[in-house]
Amino acid sequence: MAHGDIGCDPRMSMSGGQIQAAAGSSSTSSAGASEQYLPITHLLRHLSHFKALAAERELANTSIAPLVRKLTFDQGLTTLLDKFGWHPAHGFTTTLDLAGLKGALQKYKYIKMGQLGSGSYGVVHKAVNRETHELLAIKKVAHSSEYGLSDSTIREISTLRELTHENIVRLKDIIATVNGQHVHLVLEFLDCDLRQYLDTYPQASEIGRIKSIVLQILRGVRHAHMNSIMHRDLKPQNVLIGVAKNQVKITDFGLARCFLPNADRAYTERVVTLYYRAPELLLGAPTYTSAVDLWSVGCIMAEMVNFEPLFKADNEIGLLFHIFEKLGTPNKDVWRELPGLAHFSDQFPSFPGKPMQEVRGIWPCPGQGVGAR
């Protein structure tokens, strides 16, 4: 096993076409694992108490070697410890690189099972914790050698550390090399994202299931907003589903932003995937509120019912006109700031809007179920 890689077991692989998502507690987690003695976890906790980057041989053998001897050795662990001067009989034979050992053990703690997905954010692998057998998702974040971690990665880490909620993905661990060249986020694991769920599972069309999913999304969004955080990129791909328990968690806070209620502060409008972007963002509003997240949730809910996006276009102006066509073109009487928005024009076509029955398509009336696809 290479020193810089997370452990990989070729027996644990996924089919190449199976793309799943990063989030959610696994049903395979060991019951009562937190009450067990976990040798790797215990050693890592002990190493984190050291302020220095290295320890002299005598200190290493007095303080650290006894915990190393409690580990269950395999070829991978033996190879790993060899790199730090470990000898089974004599303990550490050289000055110990504490930071390097901690990083290597963090990676060894997880066994990679296959790639789940990739994109501009980096690469995500399915993994399992060697000690607890919990399924996890490990995101190797994109990194700039010139500028370090991207703003989106820093936002995601700080946001997930702050937000603890049953409907928001949990950040379990952060693995970073000493030089910061490689950073991995260890996240909860769920079966799939909402887009895949809608495309794959027949029960996705059940009205009760839709209500439950939307309610859980709203609970997660409410918790974020109560902590003054806008997600700003809510879409089906960022909503993760545990199928058996109908569990929902919001993920990917790379575009999240703190906000202050009633604060007149400028934000970028270049957020939110196009189909789920609110009109104020499309029109270039310099300030906006957490309501942009609620617009996105509404679009997601409509898509769950109709099995296609409520508003769809290839560009921003096309999407704006599609919104106006269905809901009506706004004017300054209903939107006072409208004439001053950067992308507004009084030459926009004036759409009267459509009856809600026509807009909602197959949206069920109260007491009715959703029609077949």
The 10s digit of each residue's pLDDT in 116-137 is 988 767 799 999 999 999 999 9
Tell which wins on pLDDT, 35 or 51: 51
Confidence tier at 10 by pLDDT (50, 70, 90): very low
How far apart CA 340 and CA 344 sit, in angstroms, is 7
Q: Fill in the amino acid letter for 94.
A: T
- Given 191, 233, 252, 293, the catalytic residue: 233
Contacts of 29 by beta carbon, 8 Å cutoff, 6+ apart: 132, 133, 134, 135
Residue 260's pLDDT band (cuts 50, 70, 90): confident
Alpha carbon distance 210, 206 (integer Å)? 6
Mean pLDDT of 199-204: 90
Residues within the annotated binding site for ATP?
A: 140
Q: Delineate the domains of the chain, giving CATH numbers in brackets.
A: 1-192 (3.30.200.20), 193-359 (1.10.510.10)
Model confidence pLDDT, tens digit, residues 330-352: 999 999 999 999 999 989 999 99
Residue 119 or 111, more confident:
111
Annotated binding-site ranges: 140
State phi, psi for 176 to the nearest 5 degrees: -135, 140
pLDDT at 88: 95
Told to judge if 9 belongs to the known catalytic residues of this protein, a careful annotator would answer no
Strand partners, 110: 129
